[in-house]
C-alpha cells in the first residue's frame, strides 16, 4: 500500500511501501500521526521504527517549505550518535513521511510529567552532558535546533540513552530572521524579538538547555515566558539566589543554571564552559548540612552581581572585556575619521563611547551621554536600595 493512501483514521496492521508494518499509533495531532512500526527488511535486532506522516492539507507554502527543510537538515545530522536516526524521508502527493528509529522510553517531557524530577546526580550529568555534546556537534555541522525542549528529547526505557528529535524549526543560519520556538523555552531576545537585532541561534539553544536542566532537577520551570511581564522571571533576573529560595539546589548548580540563563545573550555561557562546570559538580541538590543563603548573603550576592545580571536595556551593547576593547579600539579609530568628516559636514563631533566594567569582568559600551546618565541613575538607585537592605539585615 503506497504512503499516499494514508487517509484512513487508523492504518494499524498495514504495510507501507512493501517494507514497514504499522504496529500501533504512538500519537497524533491536527496535521499528522506517528506509528510504531517494524522494518521487514532490517535485522530482527534493529527493526523497530517510528513513522511520522504529516499531511500537506491546509498548509501554506511556507509551511511546506519548512517541512522540506526539516527533511534536509535532519538527514544532514542523522549520522551523529545522539540524534535520532532518520532512515528515510520523502514526500508524496498529500503527505510527508519520516522513518526514524523507535525510542522505547518515549520523550523526556512525558517522563518528567509522569515521574517527576530526576533524583540522581550522575544520571542528570549523563543526560545533560550528552545533550551538550550533541548540540555542540550540531553547531559544528552548522545546524541550530531552535526548539530544544523535553518533548523533543527521546529517551530509552532505562534512561541510559537520549536522542535529539524534531528538526522542524532547525536552521543552517546562525541568526534568527523571525521569532520561533516554544514560548516557555525561548530566550528573552526571541520573546521580545526585534528584527533589527537578530538573535544568535547558538545562544538561544544554550538558553533552552539551561531550562531543560532546571526542569530535570526541579520538575518544572518557574515561568511561561522569559519577559518582564512575568513576575517570576523578573525575580529570577534581579535576584541571583532566587532559585535557591524556591528549590533545594546546590550553590554550584545554581551558579551553572544562572550562567546558562543569563538574560543578556552576550554574557550567556558557552557549551564548553558549562560542560566543564557540570563535570566537576558534586551534586545538583543541597545537602542537609548546606543551609539556604541567609537574607544578608543573598543581598550581598545581589549587590556584587548587579551590573552583570540586570537587563538594563536592549539598546545597550554588552560584550566580554576582550571584545569590548576591540570594539572600543575600532570605534576610536573609526571615530577619529568620522569626527573629522562630521565636523566638515555639520560642525559637530561624534559623541564618544564609554566602557563600564561589571563585577564579572564583562563590559558595557554606552553610546552617548544620555544613555550613560540613564544607566548610571538606574544602577545607583538599585545599589542604594540593596545597600539599605544589607544594613537592615546585618
* Domain extent for 69: 3-101
Rounded CA gap, 214 and 258, in Å? 10
Q: Which three cell numbers stand for residue 203?
A: 545562544
Residues 135 and 41 grouped into a single domain:
no
* Residue matched to cell numbers 538573535: 199
- Is a pLDDT exceeding 70 seen at residue 151? yes
Annotated binding-site members: 52
Say what percent of the chain tops pLDDT 90. Answer: 60
Q: Please tell me the pTM assigned to this model.
A: 0.76
**Residue 366: in which H helix or E strand, if any?**
strand 362-366
Which residues lie below 8 Å from residue 196, measured CB to CB, with a gap of 6+?
none
- Is a pLDDT exceeding 80 seen at residue 141? yes
3-state helix, strand, coil in the chain (%, to 5): 45, 20, 35
Number of domains in the chain: 3
Of 67-71, 141-145, 255-259, 388-392, the one with minimum mean pLDDT is 388-392
What are the pLDDT digits (tens) for 322-349?
A: 444 344 444 444 443 333 333 233 333 3
Of 58-62, 88-92, 179-183, 350-354, the one with minimum mean pLDDT is 350-354
pLDDT of residue 302: 55
Q: Which residues of 99-112 are buried (b: 16+ CB within 10 A; e: fewer)?
A: bbbbbebbbbbebb
Q: What's the distance, Cα to Cα, between the start and end of the chain in Å?
A: 77
Residues 69 and 91 grouped into a single domain:
yes
Q: What is the CATH number of the domain that holds 126?
A: 1.10.510.10
As a three-state string, the secondary structure of 105-171 is CCEHHHHHHHHCCCCCHHHHHHHHHHHHHHHHHHHHCCCECCCCCHHHEEECCCCCCEEECCCCCCE
Of 72-76, 272-276, 290-294, the one with minimum mean pLDDT is 290-294
Residue whose C-alpha is closest to residue 188's, from 249, 264, 112, 250: 264
3-state secondary structure of 23: strand
Residues 158 and 234 grouped into a single domain:
yes
Please compute the mean of the pLDDT values over residues 92-117 and round it to a whole number. 94
What are the pLDDT digits (tens) for 197-256?
A: 889 999 999 999 999 999 999 999 999 999 999 999 999 998 999 999 999 999 999 999
Confidence class of residue 390 from pLDDT cuts 50, 70 and 90?
low
Residues 87 and 172 grouped into a single domain:
no
Q: Among 101, 132, 155, where does a domain finish?
A: 101
pLDDT of residue 28: 84
Residues 77 and 195 grouped into a single domain:
no
Which ranges of 247-368 would DSSP assign to H, the alpha helix?
Answer: 251-260, 271-280, 295-309, 321-345
Confidence class of residue 264 from pLDDT cuts 50, 70 and 90?
very high
Residues 117 and 96 grouped into a single domain:
no
Per DSSP, 290 falls in state: S
Does residue 227 fall inside a structural domain?
yes
Annotated binding-site members for ATP: 52
Higher-confidence residue: 342 or 367? Answer: 367
Amino acid at each position: 500500500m503506497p504512503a499516499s493512501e494514508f487517509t484512513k483514521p487508523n492504518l494499524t496492521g498495514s504495510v507501507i511501501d512493501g517494507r514497514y508494518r504499522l504496529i500501533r499509533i504512538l500519537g497524533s495531532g491536527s496535521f499528522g500521526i506517528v506509528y510504531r512500526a517494524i522494518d521487514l527488511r532490517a535485522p530482527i535486532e534493529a527493526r523497530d521504527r517510528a513513522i511520522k506522516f504529516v499531511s500537506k492539507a491546509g498548509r501554506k507554502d511556507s509551511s511546506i517549505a519548512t517541512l522540506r527543510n526539516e527533511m534536509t537538515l535532519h538527514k544532514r545530522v542523522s549520522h551523529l550518535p545522539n540524534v535520532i536516526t532518520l532512515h528515510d524521508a520523502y514526500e508524496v502527493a498529500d503527505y510527508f513521511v519520516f522513518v526514524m528509529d523507535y525510542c522505547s522510553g518515549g520523550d523526556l517531557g512525558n517522563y518528567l510529567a509522569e515521574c517527576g524530577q530526576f533524583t540522581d546526580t550522575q544520571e542528570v550529568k549523563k543526560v545533560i552532558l550528552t545533550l551538550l555534546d550533541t548540540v555542540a556537534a550540531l553547531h559544528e555541522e552548522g545546524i541550530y535546533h531552535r526548539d530544544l525542549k523535553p518533548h523533543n528529547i527521546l529517551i530509552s526505557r532505562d534512561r541510559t540513552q537520549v536522542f535529539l528529535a524534531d528538526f522542524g524549526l532547525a536552521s543552517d543560519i546562525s541568526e534568527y530572521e523571525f521569532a520561533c520556538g516554544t514560548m516557555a523555552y525561548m530566550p528573552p531576545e526571541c520573546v521580545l524579538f526585534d528584527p533589527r537585532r537578530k538573535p544568535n541561534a547558538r545562544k538561544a539553544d544554550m538558553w533552552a538547555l539551561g531550562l531543560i536542566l532546571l526542569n530535570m532537577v526541579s520538575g518544572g520551570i518557574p515561568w511561561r515566558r522569559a519577559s518582564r511581564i512575568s513576575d517570576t522571571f523578573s525575580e529570577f533576573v534581579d535576584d541571583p539566589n532566587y532559585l535557591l529560595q524556591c528549590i533545594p539546589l546546590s550553590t554550584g548548580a545554581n551558579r551553572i543554571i544562572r550562567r546558562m540563563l543569563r538574560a543578556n545573550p552576550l554574557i550567556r555561557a558557552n557549551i564548553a564552559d558549562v560542560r566543564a562546570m557540570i563535570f566537576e559538580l558534586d551534586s545538583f541538590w543541597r545537602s542537609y548540612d548546606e543551609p539556604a543563603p541567609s537574607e544578608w548573603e543573598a543581598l550581598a550576592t545581589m549587590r556584587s552581581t548587579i551590573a552583570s545580571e540586570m537587563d538594563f536595556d536592549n539598546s545597550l551593547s554588552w560584550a566580554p572585556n576582550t571584545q569590548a576593547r576591540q570594539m572600543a579600539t575600532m570605534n576610536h579609530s573609526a571615530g577619529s575619521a568620522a569626527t573629522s568628516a562630521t565636523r566638515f559636514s555639520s560642525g559637530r563631533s561624534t559623541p564618544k563611547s564609554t566602557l563600564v566594567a561589571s563585577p564579572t569582568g564583562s563590559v558595557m559600551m554606552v553610546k552617548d551621554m544620555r544613555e550613560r546618565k540613564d544607566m548610571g541613575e538606574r544602577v545607583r538607585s538599585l545599589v542604594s536600595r540593596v545597600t539599605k537592605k544589607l544594613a537592615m539585615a546585618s
